[in-house]
Amino acid sequence: MPGAFLSDIQTLRKRAREHIAQGAVTPGYHADRDVVIKLLNEALATEIICTLRYKRHYHMAKGIHAESVAAEFQEHASEEQQHADQIAERITQLGGAPDFSPDGLASRSHAEYVEGDTLEEMIKEDLVAERIAIDSYREMINYLGQNDSTSRRMLEEILAKEEEHADDLATLLEGLAH
Ligand SMILES: [Fe+2]
Ligand SMILES: [Fe+2]
């Protein structure tokens, strides 16, 4: 009997009419919204820092005629930028404000902005940053659990992409060694 654990139609309808200014956030939202917004803003900072680092690496690698590596950096830069937009959109859906302020950006980010002097150093630093992102996304996903499945699903998609990035970089690094 579904009634035992699902809300009945009257309750669903009544609840949906309450606090309609909150848009997508209904009384059935069980996560701590302030915490989720704070976590998403940290993820946003991470994606912005990663975009900037990959852009720097793209231009530097081009300068030393490492075209195929440069192309990979460019691709990652644009994917990190897409992640930043997805996260910012979710923050506004939750009634929060995405933090794009350059002040404190590097300290809000999980991953670091390291320039790197050689191609190898750039790839290594990018790989470290991806591995940081992978772990922090995994923790966020576990934290959200069933309480905010939309944010969780978005983070799961982003996590899969970061794993792909890390794998790309490990392959590039291996290629350099030979
Ligand atoms: Fe990303
Ligand atoms: Fe990435």
The pLDDT value recorded for residue 169 is 97
Share of the chain above pLDDT 70, in %: 98
Quote the CA–CA distance of 57 and 143 in Å, as a whole number: 33
Contact assessment for residue 144 and residue 151, using Cβ atoms and an 8 Å cutoff: yes
C-alpha torsion angle, residues 66, 160, 43, 59 (rounded to 10): 10
> Ligand 1 centre and the CA of 43: distance in Å?
9
Contact assessment for residue 126 and residue 76, using Cβ atoms and an 8 Å cutoff: yes
> Ligand 2 centre and the CA of 64: distance in Å?
23
Q: What is the pLDDT of residues 145-176, one digit of tens each?
A: 999 999 999 999 999 999 999 999 999 999 98
Quote the CA–CA distance of 110 and 19 in Å, as a whole number: 34
Ligand minimally distant from the alpha carbon of residue 81: 1
Write out the two tokens for 34. Answer: 């302030």
Position 93: which residue type?
A: Q
Q: Give the environment of ion ligand 2: residues with CB less than 5 A.
A: 130, 162, 165
> Ligand 2 centre and the CA of 80: distance in Å?
6
Instruction: Flag whether pLDDT at 2 surpasses 70.
Output: no
> Ligand 1 centre and the CA of 47: distance in Å?
5
Q: Is 120 helix (H, G, I), strand (E, B) or coil?
A: helix
DSSP 86-119: HHHHHHHHTT------STTHHHH-SS-----SSH
Instruction: Flag whether pLDDT at 90 surpasses 70.
Output: yes
> Ligand 2 centre and the CA of 149: distance in Å?
22
The residues near 127 (Cβ < 8 Å, ≥ 6 apart) are: 166, 169, 170, 173
Give, to the nearest 10 degrees, the angle between helix 119-144 and helix 67-93: 20
> Ligand 1 centre and the CA of 83: distance in Å?
5
Ligand minimally distant from the alpha carbon of residue 47: 1
* CA dihedral (37, 91, 27, 29) positive or negative: negative
The pLDDT value recorded for residue 4 is 66
